[in-house]
Chains A and B, each alone.
Chain A
Amino acid sequence: MKLRKLAAILLSAVMVVSMASVASADIIGADVDAPNTTKTDETLVVTLASEPSTLWGAAAGQVENEAEIIIAATQDTLVKSDKATGEALPNLATEWEWLDATHCQFKLRDDVVMNDGAPLTADDVVFTANVWKEYSANNDTGRYIAGAEAVDEHTVVIEFTTECPDLVNMMSWSNFGIVNESGVEAAGGIEACAKNPIMGCGRYIFKEWVSGQSVTLERNENYWDLDYAGYFKTIVVKFTNDPAAREMAIESGDSQVAADMPVIQATAYQGSPNVNVVIYDFGQVTHLWYNMTEGHPTADQKVRQAIEKAINYEALAMVGTGGSATQALGYLSPSSPYYHELYTLEERALDIEGAKALLAEAGYENGLELTILGLQDSVPTYTVIQENLRAIGITLNINTPDTASFVGDAFGGNYDLIVVGEWIPNRNPSAYVFVSEGQIASGFVIGGPKVTTPELEALRQQIITEPDNATANGYMEELETIMKNDTITTNLYPELKAAVIAKDLKGFGTIERGFMDITTLYK
């Protein structure tokens, strides 16, 4: 008996330790605190999930989340975007106007000094635009840039490849950071900048990158925007894969911010008294897409409707957002200016019998086997869908391979179902990418139905090129209604992002796509 008693004592001791820290803490959204005003010599430690392969995405044709978070702090963009309305706000460019459908002229500020001391001139913007065009031709950074030319010292005209009034807003994305040629040469040329991005005129300057361990940034003392004050003198960005370990680093005081935490896990940490959990909406809704290419049972609309009737949307939202949000009734997030409520709660009610009947009509009385493709972190939501479909006789196999195989399968359409979100902050050319004929043809769309209709494509073009927002909004509603009626996709729940920050930290802000802004934090 000694043995069992010993084991029991040991384990109860451990449980007591972890139970002691259970207490409730409220959810804090992002971008709610007032901007910082004081400067100190303190150091901020931020832990991200994984180490990027390069820090200057624009020159490597890569778009890696961690790289964007870091480069957003070290480079500044022509325009900033207003989170609420999605409108472009002046930043390095004071004003801008469309000369014609594809040419836009920007007026630059004359008081901006680059990191290497040289003033910001139109030539710098031309140089940077050429880098986008040349090195990022196949992703959103370079795809729509045709060229740029300097009109005078502080005026530049950027030529775009397609007609799209909202392209200006795209200039606010962190990949569009402006650099100067002398700064890039000082850093050792375009290739070397991936490891040593000291060029730019952002709020912080890149200091050092120890491979496998950390990236260090230091405050840019002569930053042009005088009413911005960086609270922390140094920011150290570290990389820890295991979310639980990231969170504990904060509790032990080794780091202040654990970025991109899985939402479910973040809600669990709300109970801990010495951390704050920030859970926020960034305007993206998670959609369940059906592979509609023939040979897949989901090509038959009855099967898709049966699935739509079997899913318990409230439970899915509960699990997907850790209880912080309810199901999504539209294609876009309610916070988006172009939000349309497509569903009523009755339409979304659970209807097991109806679903079974539809399956029978489609010829699958004695059940059906489907596979759903996803990454490791989508397993919880997939387990709910799996259980819901089991009730109507569909066995759903969950296939969560590693990233490389996932990307291969997602491009190749090697799935029946897939859950993917789409971020549409404004009417940029890559809106509604899953039903875009061009994108599907290029074969580089992660998920989606893999087929589209000319009608949807025409509507898309109108949305992108229509200067007047209200008319465009009508077209968007039309497009989303078609998608609802043909059950091309099923909106599930608003995708949330979460971070765990130290108790005394305030000013948690975000840049595009909900990535965190590491320059606005203060105590």
Chain B
Amino acid sequence: MVKYIIKRILLLIPILLGVSAIIFILKTFTPGDPARQILGNNATQEQIDAKRDELGLNDPVPLQYVRYIGGVVTGDFGDSYRTGEPVLKEILPRLGVSGIITLGAVFIGAVLGVLLGILSALKKYTWVDSLVLVISMFFQSVPEFVVGLFLILIFAVNLHILPANGIETPLGFIMPMLCVGLASIASYTRITRSSMLEVMGEDYIRTARAKGQTEGKIVYSHALRNAIIPVVQSIGTGLANSIGGGMVIETVFAVPGVGKYIVDSITQRNYPSVLGGALIIAFVLTIINLLVDIAFVIIDPRLKTTIIAGGAKRKKAAKPKAA
């Protein structure tokens, strides 16, 4: 198992190199001079040139890239042009905020999605099925910020039960989670529905029925455990997409998340923060994908024996079988 994890972690290195390389390339094409952004609009040309030298912006791009990667390896992501704080110190709390919202949203989306998926699979081609489809599709068909603004309108402005924006009180997390979660219900429902339909047709379900097992237990203990595997995969991608992509929601609800931090940094041409943010997201993504694969292995024993046990298990199984 450890060997497998190490292999996956090593895979992280090419990804991080790739991400930083691409951003460096994009950086050279984007107009707007970071030095001017730091010094403000009325800095003189000499000051700007001095600043560019100080930041090493005039060096050839490959040299800057190598110096940056050298820093990253030692954990020094450089300082943000805008505030001078170390980039890590600014990103980590924001990563926490984005993480909480993403986890909450995926939880809402997955739980509701799976339940609705099972319901519509069991009641295939009935009005329940199409009603579930319509409801789950509704939130996926409306732009995120429209849902966000209407949620604020309803819960904060008219009902005064949730704060309109900001996360001083933990209540502030509820609406962003709801917004992102509701949008993802449709995909989880659809995936659960089709994989449930597939699993319910399998032979071992018929064997379970032949045992006299109740329909409810068959659905939850037999069918769901098999049907959940593709759902876990899409949960992984769901987590991955919303960690970095929460820009719109974080703007509407004024939440200091990673997505907004990176986009603000792009507007301010604050490249160390942009690079730091993207690398952190890449790192988190790889960890999420790894966790999803591990979850696979725990849920699906067929993988466990091939991946984790590797040598050990195979030796034992080869023992001569009883007649």
Contacts and interface: CB of A to CB of B under 8 A. Distances in A.
8 contacts: A53-B82, A63-B40, A214-B168, A242-B145, A245-B152, A252-B164, A404-B33, A408-B33
Contacts of A407: 32, 36-37, 41
A7 to B, nearest CB: 8
Interface in A403-444: 403-405, 407-409, 411, 442-444
A404 B37 contact: yes
> Which among B83, B127, B157, B251 has the highest number of chain A CB atoms within 10 Å?
B157
A353 B222 CA distance: 81
Interface string B43-71: 11101000000000000000000000000
A212 interface: yes
Interface string A228-259: 00000000001111101100110111110000
Given A248-B152, A254-B163, A255-B164, 12 more contacts: A63-B41, A138-B40, A139-B42, A212-B256, A238-B166, A248-B153, A249-B166, A252-B156, A404-B267, A404-B269, A407-B32, A442-B44
Contacts of A214: 166, 168
A446 interface: yes
B254 A408 contact: no
B209 interface: no
B253 interface: yes
A366 interface: no
A37 interface: no
A402 interface: yes
Interface of A: 2-3, 6-7, 10, 14, 17-18, 21, 47, 53-54, 60-63, 138-140, 191, 194-195, 211-214, 238-242, 244-245, 248-249, 251-255, 401-405, 407-409, 411, 442-444, 446
Contacts of A10: 138
Interface string B263-276: 00011110000000
B194 to A, nearest CB: 21
B160 A404 contact: no
B156 A248 contact: yes
B43 A138 contact: yes
Nearest to A211: B90
B39 interface: yes
A47 B163 CA distance: 14
Contact of A444 (B31, B32, B42, B152): B42
B18 interface: no
Nearest to B141: A7
Contact of B83 (A7, A211, A241, A401): A211
Given A3-B134, A17-B158, A405 B164 contact: no
A474 to B, nearest CB: 30
Residue from the set B162, B266, B269 with the largest chain A CB neighbour count within 10 Å: B269
B32 A254 contact: no
Contacts of A239: 254
B29 to A, nearest CB: 12
B254 A53 contact: no
Interface string B197-210: 00000000000000
A371 to B, nearest CB: 15
Contacts of A53: 82-83, 268
Nearest to B83: A53
A254 B156 contact: yes
Interface in B241-267: 251-254, 256, 261, 266-267
A194 B154 CA distance: 39
Interface string B164-207: 11111000000000000000000000000000000000000000
A242 B44 contact: no
B154 A17 contact: yes
**Which of A63, A213, A409 is most buried by chain B, counting CB atoms within 10 A of its CB?**
A213
A62 B40 contact: yes
B233 interface: no
Closest 9 CB pairs of A and B: A212-B256, A404-B32, A252-B156, A240-B254, A249-B164, A252-B164, A251-B157, A62-B40, A139-B42
B167 A213 contact: yes
A446 B158 contact: no
A446 B156 contact: no
Nearest to A251: B157
B300 interface: no
Contact of A138 (B44, B266, B267): B44
Contacts of A140: 42
Contacts of B82: 53
B149 interface: yes
B93 interface: yes
A174 to B, nearest CB: 16
Contacts of B76: none
Contacts of B267: 402-404
Which of B94, B127, B163, B166: most chain A CB closer than 10 A? Answer: B166
Contacts of B266: 402
Nearest to A7: B138
Nearest to B43: A138
Nearest to B47: A138
Nearest to A439: B42
Contact of A408 (B36, B39, B252): B36
A443 B47 CA distance: 14
A245 B40 contact: no
B130 interface: yes
A249 B165 contact: yes
B31 A446 contact: no
B32 A245 contact: no
Interface string B117-158: 000000000010011001000100000010001101110111
Contacts of A3: 130, 134
B156 A249 contact: yes
Contact of A242 (B31, B41, B254): B254
A408 B256 contact: no
